[in-house]
Amino acid sequence: MSTTPKKKSAFREWADALLFAVIAASLIRWLLLEPFTIPTASMEKSLLVGDFLFVSKMHYGTRIPRTILQVPLTHQKIWGTEIPSYSDAVQLPYFRLPGFTSIKRNDVVVFNYPEEHQYPTDLKTNYIKRAVAVPGDVLEIKDTQIYINGQPSENPEEMQYSYDVLTNRPLNMEFFDQFGINPDSFYPFSDNSGYLVFATASMVEKLSSSPVITSVKKRTSREGQGDVNIFPDGAYFGWNKDHFGPLEVPAKGWTISLDEDNVRKYAYTIEKYEGHENISIDGNQIYIDGQKVDTYTFKQDYYFMMGDNRHDSLDSRFWGFVPEDHVVGKAWFLWLSLEKHKNFLNKIRWNRFFKSIH
């Protein structure tokens, strides 16, 4: 006696299709590619606010999820609510599948913002910056120029700085737009004598040729003028965003002596990212599991990340190294770009479609 399989209801077919789509999208997002949107101007003009890109998980090796109790296709909260989308009751150890390559100097990298200690590592906010120094590099910044191991580093073509631009009359958005300067990149002085402008060297050169511009001067901090906001202790070392270091980037297996300078440079990194459950810092001394340590060997690699918009970027100069276990993936290529200050079809930056990121 034969039986005919019972036909699925329309609702059951729809539910099965939705479940398959969610599983497939989750696997692709975890294993291969994840979409990302540029939210701030810290990478201008290399990457623009409104750029939509894909992040490759494959290049540096897919990171196995550590927070496994999570609503699929969410990050920190359930869509449109303030309800957490995860539970940190179960945390897996860090593990990464083999990748095609390691992080190379000047790669554009997406990573979890290290300072968000209230979240599990893999659910911290995603940031995007350029890896200007890799494990073992000695980084120094002299008058805005980066030096790696004593040699000037290659500068991104679209790197920006801030400039004081003095004018002989007030200017409008249309004036700056003809030089590629968007409304988020210029601010009038309170006395109306000019503008603070974030721009590339080529943009500034063209801007300087305008008869309404009377003076253009790059803003830089003075050497030796320590900034308390600079990592690891800008006031003590006399470092600021334009004069920084030398500072060696920790590499896995690197052993340091814990003298006063090294404690100031590396104690925060050891305390927050090296996985010690019982660690304390008392002045210039570090105690692990109640025992004072005089030397320390790092357990993982670290990276120094900076934005290409060098005077408008919250990066490693301010909050320190990016640990390897915080790396999400390599910024790969753009698939859409929208200009928020324009309307309708004018919003679309057609020349940026499918542009590779370097």
Across 160-181, average pLDDT: 94
Looking at every residue in the chain, the average pLDDT score rounds to: 92
pLDDT in tens, 46-104: 999 999 999 999 999 999 999 999 998 888 999 889 999 999 999 999 999 999 999 99
Q: Is 169 exposed, middle or buried (0-12, 13-18, 19+ CB in 10 A)?
A: exposed
Quote the pLDDT of residue 345. 76
Q: How far is CA 300 from the centre of its chain?
A: 19
Query: Between the ranges 18-22, 272-276, 338-342, 354-358, where is the mean pLDDT highest?
Result: 272-276
Q: Pick 334 or 31 by higher pLDDT.
A: 334
Task: Decide if pLDDT at 28 tops 90.
Answer: no
Q: How far is CA 242 from the centre of its chain?
A: 19
The b-or-e profile of 19-37 (16+ CB within 10 A means b, else e) is: eeeeeeeeeeeeeebbebe
**Residue 345 DSSP SS3:** helix
What region does 12 belong to: left with phi over 0, alpha with psi -120 to 50, or beta? alpha
Quote the pLDDT of residue 24. 62
Other beta carbons within 10 Å of 332: 19
What pTM value is reported for the model?
Answer: 0.92
Q: Give the count of alpha carbons within 13 A of 323, CB side only.
A: 20
Kindly state the tokens that stand for 286.
């570090």
Q: How far apart are CA 162 and CA 170, in angstroms?
A: 19
Which residues does residue 140 pair with via DSSP β-bridges, in sequence order? Answer: 147
Which of the residue ranges 30-34, 36-40, 159-163, 302-306 would you say has the lowest mean pLDDT? 30-34
pLDDT band at 283 (very low <50, low <70, confident <90, very high): confident
**Residue 176 DSSP SS3:** helix
Task: Decide if pLDDT at 1 tops 60.
Answer: no
pLDDT in tens, 123-139: 999 999 999 999 999 99
The amino acid sitting at 48 is: L
Task: Say if residue 246 is preceded by a cis peptide, omega within 30 of 0.
Answer: yes
Quote the pLDDT of residue 266. 98
Q: How far apart are CA 22 and CA 26, in angstroms?
A: 6
Task: Decide if pLDDT at 23 tops 90.
Answer: no
Tell which CATH architecture fits domain 20-137+303-358.
Answer: Ribbon (2.10)
pLDDT band at 341 (very low <50, low <70, confident <90, very high): confident
pLDDT in tens, 229-282: 999 999 999 999 999 999 999 999 999 999 999 999 999 999 999 999 999 999
Quote the pLDDT of residue 4. 60
Tokens 């957490």 belong to: 84
Quote the pLDDT of residue 168. 94
Task: Decide if pLDDT at 19 tops 70.
Answer: no
Q: Is 257 exposed, middle or buried (0-12, 13-18, 19+ CB in 10 A)?
A: exposed
In the chain, where are the structural domains located? 20-137+303-358, 160-218, 255-297
Q: What angle do CA 193, 188, 129 make, to 5 degrees?
A: 130
CATH number given to 160-218: 3.30.70
Quote the pLDDT of residue 22. 67
Task: Decide if pLDDT at 3 tops 70.
Answer: no
Across 146-165, average pLDDT: 96
Across 327-341, average pLDDT: 94
Q: How far apart are CA 204 and CA 207, in angstroms?
A: 5
Q: Do domains 20-137+303-358 and 160-218 have the same CATH topology?
A: no
